[in-house]
A and B are shown apart, each in its own frame.
Chain A
Amino acid sequence: MDANRFDLPGADIAWCPGCGDFRILESLKKALLELGLSPLDVVVVSGIGQAAKTPHFMTSHFFNGLHGRSLSNATAIKAANPSLKVIAVGGDGDMYGEGGNHFTHTIRRNPDITNLVYNNMVYGLTKGQASPTSQIGFKTPVQVEGVSSHPFNPVASALIAGATFVARGNAGDVEQTKELIKRAMEHKGYALVDIFQPCVSFNNLNTYKWFSENTYWLEDHDEGDFEKALSLVMAEAPFPLGVLYREEGRPTFAETLLAYRENKEPLFRRKASRNAVRKIMEGMCS
Chain B
Amino acid sequence: MHFSSLEGRTDLSCVFCGAAGLGIQTVEDLLARVIVNEGLYVFGSREYMSRVRGGSNSTEIRISSSPVDALVDRIDLLFALSAGVRENIRERITPDTVIFGDRDELKEEADELGGTFVNIPLQDIAKEVGGKIYSNSVAAGFLFGILGLGLDGAREFFEQRFADKKPEVVEKNMKAARTGFDQGEALVEKKGLLDGYTRLKEKESMILSGTDAVGLGALAGGCTFAAAYPMSPSTGVLTFLASHAEECGVAVEQVEDELAAINMAVGAAYAGGRSMVTTSGGGFALMTEGVSLAGVVESPVVIHLAQRPGPATGMATRTEQGDLLHALFSSHGEFPKAIYAPGTLESAFKITQKAFATAWSYHTPVIILTDQYFVNSFRNLSPETFEFLPELPEIEKTGPNYRRYEDTPDGVSPYGIPGWGEGIVGGDSHEHDEEGHVYEDFHLRTRMQDKRMRKLEGMKREALPPTLIGPEKYETLVICWGSTLPIVREALKNLGRADTALLAYEQVWPLHSSTEEYLRKASRTVMVEGNSTAQFARLIRCETGVALSGSVLKYSGLQFSVEEVEKRLTEFLSGKEGSR
Contact = CB atoms under 8 A, between A and B. Distances in A.
Interface of A: 39-41, 43, 45, 48, 53, 55-56, 59-66, 68-69, 72-81, 83-84, 101-102, 104-105, 109, 254, 257-263, 265-268, 270-274, 276-282, 284-286
Contacts of A68: 259
B255 interface: yes
Contacts of B263: 65-66, 69, 72-73, 76, 102
Interface string B219-253: 11111110100000000000000001111111111
Please report whether the interface of chain B is mostly helix, strand, loop or mixed according to DSSP: mixed
Contact of A80 (B33, B256, B271, B388): B271
Contacts of B266: 65, 73, 76
Contact of B225 (A60, A62, A66, A76): A76
Interface in B189-234: 203, 205-208, 212, 216, 219-225, 227
A61 B436 CA distance: 10
A74 B267 contact: yes
Given A272-B222, A280-B219, A258 B426 contact: no
A72 B260 contact: yes
By Cβ-Cβ distance, the 9 closest A-B pairs, closest first, are A268-B272, A76-B267, A73-B267, A72-B263, A80-B271, A61-B418, A80-B273, A76-B264, A105-B256
B293 A276 contact: no
A265 B208 CA distance: 31
Contact of A268 (B264, B271, B422): B271
A61 B435 CA distance: 10
A66 B290 contact: yes
Most buried by B among A45, A83, A266, A270: A270
B422 A270 contact: no
Contacts of B293: 65-66, 69
15 contacts: A48-B429, A62-B424, A64-B429, A65-B267, A65-B297, A66-B289, A66-B293, A69-B290, A75-B267, A76-B271, A79-B264, A259-B249, A267-B225, A270-B249, A286-B207
Contacts of B37: 286
B220 A277 contact: yes
B272 A276 contact: no
A284 B419 contact: no
A40 B424 contact: yes
B410 to A, nearest CB: 23
B445 to A, nearest CB: 16
B383 A278 contact: yes
Nearest to B227: A76
Nearest to B219: A277
B430 interface: yes
Interface string B38-77: 0000000000000000000000000000000000000000
A77 B271 contact: yes
B425 A259 contact: no
Given A68-B259, A267-B251, 12 more contacts: A62-B428, A63-B270, A66-B263, A74-B267, A80-B224, A80-B268, A84-B418, A101-B256, A259-B252, A273-B249, A274-B220, A282-B383
Contacts of B272: 80-81, 266-268
B264 A258 contact: no
Contact of A61 (B222, B227, B265, B425): B425
Most buried by B among A39, A60, A259: A259
B274 interface: yes
Nearest to A8: B437
A280 B297 contact: no
Interface in B257-303: 257, 259-260, 263-275, 289-290, 293, 297
A39 B424 contact: yes
Contacts of A55: 426
Contact of B268 (A69, A76, A258, A284): A76
Interface string B433-455: 00011100000000000000000
Contacts of A263: 249
Contacts of A81: 271-272, 417-419
Interface string B358-399: 000000000000000000000000010010100110010000
A78 B293 CA distance: 19
B36 interface: yes
A163 B345 CA distance: 44
B388 A274 contact: yes
A72 B264 contact: yes
Contact of A257 (B251, B259, B270, B383): B251
A276 B247 contact: yes
B420 interface: yes
A279 B430 CA distance: 44
Contacts of A102: 256, 259-260, 263
B424 A61 contact: yes
B391 A271 contact: yes
Contacts of A69: 259-260, 263, 290, 293
B427 interface: yes
Contact of A45 (B207, B267, B275): B267
Contacts of B216: 277, 280-281
Contacts of B425: 61
Contacts of A257: 245, 251-253
A260 B267 CA distance: 18
A271 B247 CA distance: 12
A84 B271 contact: yes
Contacts of A60: 424
A265 B251 CA distance: 12
Nearest to A260: B251
A280 B223 CA distance: 15
A260 B251 CA distance: 8
A53 B244 contact: no
A265 B395 CA distance: 14
A268 B424 contact: no
A32 B361 CA distance: 35
A77 B33 contact: no
A37 to B, nearest CB: 12
A276 B37 CA distance: 24
A147 to B, nearest CB: 26
